[in-house]
Structure 1
């Protein structure tokens, strides 16, 4: 942000103008004719330049009125006004810019010099002194301090007359300058020298007869020398020679031409050696940060390394002045300001210094919300007044931040401070009314609700608001109003209803909580939220309600849960059906391609000949097709049981080869977790990271579709022992990439038992074996997912085949109510056929004859068309 101006930009002084007029008059006397011609040409050129400058200033002024935050526009406008010499507009432009941005040291120097050149009388001294005071607060500048000190010595009447008040004022100003810039390694000696010169000038004003005063002044100058020699400054050795020469003037015998320390007191010599050692350790760091030809990023990196070096010595004054040098060079580096303020919060207890740095940080980087938040906290630690904190808060809301969460953080930080101040109403003088806090919450809600709709951030704010309304505000109606307003904005979030209900339960309002359950149990929430709210109502009634309340809740919830469960099963069935159709299409395509590529003699025959043979011998043709379909089905079966141990596929060619030639792997699943409801984007790394806190993972198998290669949402995870497996089962219902996982133990023994028993007993479909993810038991058994996969993919014996094996049993029943996908041979629970008349066999009056047909009769029936 520091800007430098060319020499042509400096406002001309009266001497320069008079000198130019004198030269013009002399040239007119020497050659009037030539001068008149040149004057006409110069006048036309000047008029053109002036018109162009006026147009430029009007354009800049219009741009700044539309966009006051244009920093470069302000700088250019001030430059144009300086060239024009429009003093009043120039002052106004500088004042406007200084209120919006901190001015660079060069701009402050130009401003003070311009004002001094206009008038240097006693009446203008306070105004110019105030400008210097404002300038030294923006950035650290040794040059600006040096100009300030010289201006005060020259134009302050009290200091110029060496009055006691003036001398005290000057010494205080010099001490301030030493505190601010005296430790500057490369430029700090300017302040020390100016201080010594001032004291030496005072020494010469003391009467020679006043030996006591002169000796006191000599000791004062000697102390300044000693202090300077203990500071690691770049010209430390030359300062030692000056000091020795001064001591010789005072009558001490010293070798002024050598840099040895003979004749100097021991404590001064020790301090000098230490300072020289510190200087030598910092010379290379100073060279790195002083390279103007290096990129800014590299120089900033060198500054940060230098800061770490200084922090290792633990001298806050040296660290702070180096931070000041860094922010002067890089004023809009938000990371640098954050680092600076964080260091001050940890090390300095002076509230005024920390507050001043935060004020400057937010002026340089107003778009950083974290700086404003820390600023509020520093004001509160420093016991700032409510008016000051409120002014800073209002200023922060005018800034533009990168996210709405930063605005929310600022609002909540302000609320935190108000809450603490209201809680300490008896301990502070300016106690606040709760209405102030409510107003902040309302402003935050009005501004952020539209942008943070259905987010946890907005929920967190309203939860905080409702709690304060009930605790600090003592207004339960207002607390409920907060929740009701949030329901209008984010009523589709399950967490919103849960938070509202939790508040009512916490306050003991059971009936109000029950009414909320009645309002929301039938709503549709994302994920498993609809099921969760239903089960939450049942748990609530078990813990707080009567038996009638529990029965009423169960009567309402049970149909809703069945509806949701049926919907999910239908969705799973649709997904499986779609996958099966895709597999069949791919299978038929592969069959056609294989038939085209087969080199059998039958395939090479003309199509007319094949049709003739099929007509003459249909059984032969049917047998070939059946055998071919059987082989294809077996190949398909092999492909469906292939699993992936978390490794990427090597390619479609290798995959096809493995599916045809290799046998499927066998897993005993003795210490394995079955995972369902996986997101389709979950890969091996995601699952491995999910179980990283558990440990003991030996292998991960994610089931993929054989045609598309996409995940089926199912996986097996093998663990080294039961301890790790149990720890993994404890992660059931946790979220992974936006989906709540169902994790159960894989039970191969139970699975084999069902396969063996299935040949002679009805299929089980109760709540334990079907594995419905309704959450009532908290587990999901893998057999149901395998059942759906097996019936569509062919990984196990299809359900139709199991049904055909039990054709002798006419009373096969399916337990449970979800019978929409049951084959026709399996009858639902409670179905009876005792009263149904048995169909008459074929061969009777209605059904026909059961006598077997001969080959000729069968052939005639087959070829009847």
Structure 2
């Protein structure tokens, strides 16, 4: 924060003394060492409206914001403390110094985040107190860009009327106000009332009869447009119209009575939703559910203006809920097909939800063209320097952001700038993700297609040298050659297959399929011979490992100990052997010799 205030007219040393930022000074150390009750009083007299505790806290916040500029809570607290200190200043000089610091803090806050309605109104109120009327107009213009609420638009219309702007200028602002929030069911009537009051005031300054009649028709047109919308406060608007026409409050001859009745009936059908939104004890989920049902109703029975008005209320109520912004942007982009409004919506969305890559991507996509402000290049630089976004980026979402810009450069035929951007994109991805590898080779294919054939071939050779141990790089190279390689693409693809077919079985299968589609019988047979040998060796090498992995080795088990049978006496063993039949080498029974005679025993 301190770095952002170097242009301040306030001397740094005086500001430091004012805010007790010289915490290491001997006087402060002595005051702390004394430990007496008079120290705070002395500091208060020296530092004016800032006590020591507040000054210390301001120092901490200032340093924290300097290190982490996207800390919303720190910005908010810093502004609140400075505003409180400025309100307690003892004299004009001290108040002026604090005002400069407060203005710088607010500018830093507004640069990083959209300010809420309350913060903008406080800023405007403080400017009014100091008599800085010139600053108020630009502040209110920025305010309705951040938070287009009826209260801020009404405040802007009032200010422009007081400044003596021309009728055409004020009328243009009033039209923008009712276009933005005029269909707000709850609070839109205040804008139409302010618009009608301005036109009636302009009528009073006209003298010619013809001019006055034209102006009267303009006032009638405003009332007619307003009374045709379902809004709270329609009866008051109708009474204003009757008074303008010089008719009684209950005059049956009012030309807008029927219009009023139709709008009141439409308002009644929306009361259930409005009651649900006005409940202060509703949870966030309950309120979002009411909004969802309300939007479906307006989309079915209302018109696009009412749907947009309800979306505006939704995102002002839940500015940090990115699904709300996503739905709003899609409605404007797809249903209304209003590119400029879609761009404004997505840029607001990205400022409110800077952590969302999807919202940044749509903001970039809708900002294509030299007429867009901020430009697409500025938006991309802003997004890639946003700490909240960088923390939430994945490799694919970061690539998607960069490719949006690449697509725009290609469509604009800015080829040299596109080639330089591809180098920037690759370096940026490697910086954001030190272990980055483009497994899909989406960026490499796109980049190579924009280069000459010689440069493209060199690029793929470098990629193959880096990722050559994997199949995807070779297959991506082959695909590139077949689609963008020109007349010699088949020959180049075959050379890649011949070089890479031993890397994995998938490449071998792709080579055989390739030769079936593009090759001759001889080249197909050659591919089959080479890939068959490779496949056989791969299977032979892999089969034992698979068997070894699938079949567990048997475990050795000890046999249970058994007692040996007792030996029989020798005579009994001999007698048993004599009776037992004998088998030959082939397992056949042979005769047993008994004396000199023999006989077969089965």
Q: Secondary structure at the match of 2:279?
A: coil
Q: 1:577 maps to which residue?
A: 551
Give the distance between the partners of 2:538 and 2:394, measured in 1 at CA.
Answer: 38
Structure 1 residue 227 corresponds to structure 2 residue 225: yes
Q: 1:388 maps to which residue?
A: 375
Distance change (3 Å), C-alpha of 1:128 and 1:557: same
1:336 to 291, 306, 324: 324
CA drift at 1:212:
5.3
Q: 2:600 maps to which residue?
A: none
Q: 1:494 maps to which residue?
A: 471
Is the CA contact (8 Å cut-off) linking 1:182 and 1:191 kept in structure 2?
yes
Q: Deviations over 1:445-484 (max 9, x none)?
A: 3343666756643x23322332x23xxx3x1122112222
Is the CA contact (8 Å cut-off) linking 2:193 and 2:237 kept in structure 1?
no
Q: Secondary structure at the match of 1:58?
A: helix
Q: 1:5 maps to which residue?
A: none
2:496 to 506, 512, 516: 516
Q: 2:30 maps to which residue?
A: none
Aligned residue runs from structure 1 range 515-534, under 5 A: 515-523=495-503, 530-534=504-508
Q: Which runs of 5+ in 1 are unaligned?
A: 1-39, 160-165, 423-431, 524-529, 593-606, 618-842, 856-865
Give the distance between the partners of 2:549 and 2:328, measured in 1 at CA.
Answer: 57
Q: 1:562 maps to which residue?
A: 536
Distance change (3 Å), C-alpha of 1:117 and 1:509: same
Give the distance between the partners of 1:171 and 1:387, measured in 2 at CA.
Answer: 26
Give the distance between the partners of 2:122 and 2:314, measured in 1 at CA.
Answer: 22
Distance change (3 Å), C-alpha of 1:46 and 1:536: closer
Is the CA contact (8 Å cut-off) linking 1:465 and 1:482 kept in structure 2?
no
Distance change (3 Å), C-alpha of 1:302 and 1:540: closer
Q: 2:175 maps to which residue?
A: 175
Give the distance between the partners of 1:285 and 1:460, measured in 2 at CA.
Answer: 47
Aligned residue runs from structure 1 range 416-565, under 5 A: 416-422=407-413, 432=414, 434-448=415-429, 456-457=439-440, 459-466=441-448, 468-469=449-450, 473=451, 475-505=452-482, 507=485, 508-509=488-489, 512-523=492-503, 530-537=504-511, 556-565=530-539
Give the distance between the partners of 1:348 and 1:393, measured in 2 at CA.
Answer: 26
Q: 2:141 maps to which residue?
A: 133
CA drift at 1:440:
2.6
Q: Which runs of 5+ in 2 are unaligned?
A: 1-37, 87-97, 570-583, 593-602
Q: Output the TM-score relative to the length of structure 1.
A: 0.55
Distance change (3 Å), C-alpha of 1:481 and 1:314: farther
Choose between structure 1 and 2: higher helix proportion. 2
CA drift at 1:73:
0.7
Give the distance between the partners of 1:500 and 1:230, measured in 2 at CA.
Answer: 63
Give the distance between the partners of 1:97 and 1:141, measured in 2 at CA.
Answer: 20
Q: Deviations over 1:658-702 (max 9, x none)?
A: xxxxxxxxxxxxxxxxxxxxxxxxxxxxxxxxxxxxxxxxxxxxx
Is the CA contact (8 Å cut-off) linking 2:332 and 2:338 kept in structure 1?
no
Distance change (3 Å), C-alpha of 1:202 and 1:386: closer
Give the distance between the partners of 2:493 and 2:206, measured in 1 at CA.
Answer: 89
Distance change (3 Å), C-alpha of 1:487 and 1:448: farther
Q: 2:563 maps to which residue?
A: 611
Give the distance between the partners of 2:443 and 2:268, measured in 1 at CA.
Answer: 55
Q: Secondary structure at the match of 1:581?
A: coil
Give the distance between the partners of 1:552 and 1:203, measured in 2 at CA.
Answer: 94
Q: Deviations over 1:3-34 (max 9, x none)?
A: xxxxxxxxxxxxxxxxxxxxxxxxxxxxxxxx
Q: Secondary structure at the match of 1:232?
A: coil
Aligned residue runs from structure 1 range 623-638, under 5 A: none
Q: Secondary structure at the match of 1:183?
A: coil
Q: Deviations over 1:287-342 (max 9, x none)?
A: 11122221122212211221111111251111111111111111111100000000
Q: 1:415 maps to which residue?
A: 406
CA drift at 1:407:
0.6
Larger Rg: 1
Distance change (3 Å), C-alpha of 1:360 and 1:577: closer
Is the CA contact (8 Å cut-off) linking 1:345 and 1:354 kept in structure 2?
yes
2:109 to 92, 97, 101: 97
Give the distance between the partners of 2:427 and 2:228, measured in 1 at CA.
Answer: 59
CA drift at 1:214:
5.0
Q: 2:124 maps to which residue?
A: 112
Is the CA contact (8 Å cut-off) linking 1:404 and 1:451 kept in structure 2?
no
Give the distance between the partners of 1:234 and 1:505, measured in 2 at CA.
Answer: 66
Aligned residue runs from structure 1 range 668-687, under 5 A: none
- State the superposition RMSD in angstroms: 3.6
Q: 2:154 maps to which residue?
A: 146
Give the distance between the partners of 2:277 and 2:39, measured in 1 at CA.
Answer: 50
Give the distance between the partners of 2:198 and 2:480, measured in 1 at CA.
Answer: 71
Q: 2:82 maps to which residue?
A: 81
Give the distance between the partners of 1:416 and 1:560, measured in 2 at CA.
Answer: 42
2:254 to 256, 264, 268: 264
Distance change (3 Å), C-alpha of 1:854 and 1:560: farther
Is the CA contact (8 Å cut-off) linking 2:154 and 2:191 kept in structure 1?
yes
Q: Output the TM-score relative to the length of structure 2.
A: 0.77
Give the distance between the partners of 1:111 and 1:416, measured in 2 at CA.
Answer: 41
CA drift at 1:371:
1.6
Q: 2:21 maps to which residue?
A: none
CA drift at 1:234:
0.9
Structure 1 residue 193 corresponds to structure 2 residue 193: yes
Q: Deviations over 1:116-175 (max 9, x none)?
A: 22125xxx53x3211111111111222222222222223x1x35xxxxxx2332233222
Structure 1 residue 354 corresponds to structure 2 residue 342: yes
Q: 2:93 maps to which residue?
A: none
Give the distance between the partners of 1:214 and 1:387, measured in 2 at CA.
Answer: 42
